């Protein structure tokens, strides 16, 4: 693949117009959403989708999320049962993705859904993403704008680091607010959590007035829904080994702290960052990937991570930390 001259533009009106032109021409545009930066391509253009897989270095059996501006556009891609409709009305626009039966006449390229008869759909809340989707008027696939296997980008600089020369354009809208990816819920039968993310499980269960089913890593059958195929154990992997639930810091380690309490040996840390010194899980989620990237660059022997509570957004944070620590 020949290197592209990746341009970075501040998210003003001209940049948004340029993003729409680029998408219409089959180009690859990184753009901010409220969760993480996405690498957008025209979802109806199989060639653009193929270029996107190539740019990310992503296994092409991994299906992508179709992003649209509103519920009406989502209903042209997928069939909503009553519970899916309720979740869409409650959480869209916002950090929730629904996996639904693909609608007849769905315009999304077969390659983007990896040949499945279901499709993942999301309506993002971010003003820049909304502007681009409304003006483009077609669905856009947008995986996180990192190279495959790396942590998701929460700033334009992260995107540039991973994808410079491989994509056409980056729209810089500042750091993303939520910081972890969208929650994925399958509504194919009993609603099932496929990926913890920006909307806490408890909020979804309150809206449905019942508990979400659990995804399994067993093969799909009538009774169980498999994990989102992209949830590979090592999916969110820094290069440096990650040590979870650290009770102290060893010499040569970097420290990813959480909360106000200092960890024994913290003064020995090669470098340390705190996800949230006041113990706020929303702040911690927003900082997670940027801090992992920064500590990964510190040349430490390992990244020691303090325990993070599991409530609310803590479920998604702990899920990403476990993946970051998975053997590879």
* From the list Mg ion, ligand TXA, none, partner contacted by residue 269 (C-beta under 5 to 8 A by kind): none
Q: Which is nearer to Mg ion, 144 or 176 (CB)?
A: 144
What is the smallest separation between the CB atom of 277 and ligand TXA, expressed in angstroms?
26
* From the list ligand TXA, Mg ion, none, partner contacted by residue 240 (C-beta under 5 to 8 A by kind): none
What is the smallest separation between the CB atom of 95 and ligand TXA, expressed in angstroms?
6
* From the list Mg ion, ligand TXA, none, partner contacted by residue 194 (C-beta under 5 to 8 A by kind): ligand TXA
* From the list Mg ion, ligand TXA, none, partner contacted by residue 176 (C-beta under 5 to 8 A by kind): none
Residue from 155, 186, 137, 135 nearest 33 by CA = 155
Give yes or no for residue 35 binding ligand TXA (CB under 6 A). yes
* From the list Mg ion, ligand TXA, none, partner contacted by residue 35 (C-beta under 5 to 8 A by kind): ligand TXA
Q: Which is nearer to ligand TXA, 123 or 302 (CB)?
A: 123
Please identify which residue in 38, 179, 200, 259 interacts with ligand TXA, judged by CB under 6 A.
38
Give yes or no for residue 231 binding ligand TXA (CB under 6 A). yes
Binding map of ligand TXA across residues 167-186, x = CB under 6 A, - = no contact:
--------------xx-x--
CB 162 within 8 A of CB 28: no
Only segment of 35-43, 45-53, 160-168, 258-266 that touches ligand TXA (CB under 6 A): 35-43
Residue with the CB atom nearest ligand TXA in the bound state: 230
Q: Which is nearer to ligand TXA, 233 or 298 (CB)?
A: 233
Give yes or no for residue 116 binding ligand TXA (CB under 6 A). yes
Residue with the CB atom nearest Mg ion in the bound state: 144
Distance of alpha carbon 144 from alpha carbon 320, whole angstroms: 14
Distance of alpha carbon 23 from alpha carbon 154, whole angstroms: 21
Binding map of ligand TXA across residues 89-108, x = CB under 6 A, - = no contact:
--------x-x---------
Number of residues near ligand TXA (by CB under 6 A): 26
Only segment of 9-17, 60-68, 272-280, 288-296 that touches ligand TXA (CB under 6 A): 60-68
Give yes or no for residue 200 binding ligand TXA (CB under 6 A). no
Only segment of 8-16, 21-29, 229-237, 302-310 that touches ligand TXA (CB under 6 A): 229-237
In angstroms and rounded to an integer, the radius of gyration of the C-alpha atoms of the chain is: 19
Give yes or no for residue 143 binding ligand TXA (CB under 6 A). yes
Please name the residues in contact with 169: beta carbons below 8 A apart, sequence gap of 6 or more: 6, 7, 8, 9, 18, 19, 22, 27, 28, 29, 30
Give yes or no for residue 230 binding ligand TXA (CB under 6 A). yes
Alpha carbon 322 to its chain's center = 16
Tell me which residues touch Mg ion (CB under 5 A): 144
> In 10 A of CB 44, how many CB atoms?
17
Where on the chain is the footprint of ligand TXA (CB under 6 A)?
Answer: 33, 35-36, 38, 62-65, 97, 99, 116, 118-120, 122, 142-144, 181-182, 184, 194, 228-231
């Amino acid at each position: 693949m020949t290197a592209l001259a990746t341009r970075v533009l501040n998210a003003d009106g001209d940049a948004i117009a340029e993003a729409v032109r680029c998408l219409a021409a089959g180009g690859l545009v990184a753009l901010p959403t409220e969760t993480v930066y996405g690498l957008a391509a025209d979802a109806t253009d199989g060639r653009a989708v193929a270029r996107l897989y190539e740019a990310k270095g992503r296994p092409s059996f991994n299906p992508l999320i179709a992003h649209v501006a509103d519920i009406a556009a989502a209903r042209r891609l997928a069939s909503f049962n009553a519970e899916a409709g309720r979740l869409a009305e409650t959480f869209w626009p916002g950090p929730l993705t629904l996996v639904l039966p693909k609608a007849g006449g769905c315009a999304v390229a077969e390659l983007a859904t990896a040949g499945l008869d279901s499709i993942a759909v999301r309506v993002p809340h971010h003003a820049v993403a909304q502007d681009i989707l409304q003006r483009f008027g077609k669905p856009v696939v947008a995986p996180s704008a990192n190279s495959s296997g790396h942590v998701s980008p929460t700033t334009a600089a992260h995107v540039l680091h991973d994808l410079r020369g491989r994509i056409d354009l980056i729209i810089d809208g500042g750091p993303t607010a939520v910081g972890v990816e969208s929650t994925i819920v399958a509504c194919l039968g009993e609603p099932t959590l496929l990926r913890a993310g920006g909307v806490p499980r408890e909020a979804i269960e309150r809206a449905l007035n019942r508990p979400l089913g659990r995804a399994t890593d067993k093969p799909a059958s009538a009774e169980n829904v498999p994990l989102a195929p992209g949830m590979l154990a090592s999916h969110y992997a820094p290069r440096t080994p990650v040590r979870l639930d650290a009770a102290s810091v060893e010499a040569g380690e970097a420290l990813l702290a959480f909360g106000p309490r200092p960890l024994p040996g913290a003064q020995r840390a090669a470098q340390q960052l705190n996800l949230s010194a006041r113990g706020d899980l929303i702040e911690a989620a927003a900082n997670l990937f940027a801090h992992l990237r920064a500590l990964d660059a510190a040349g430490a022997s390992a990244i020691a991570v303090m325990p993070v509570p599991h409530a609310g957004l803590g479920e998604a944070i702990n899920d990403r930390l476990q993946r970051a620590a998975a053997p590879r």
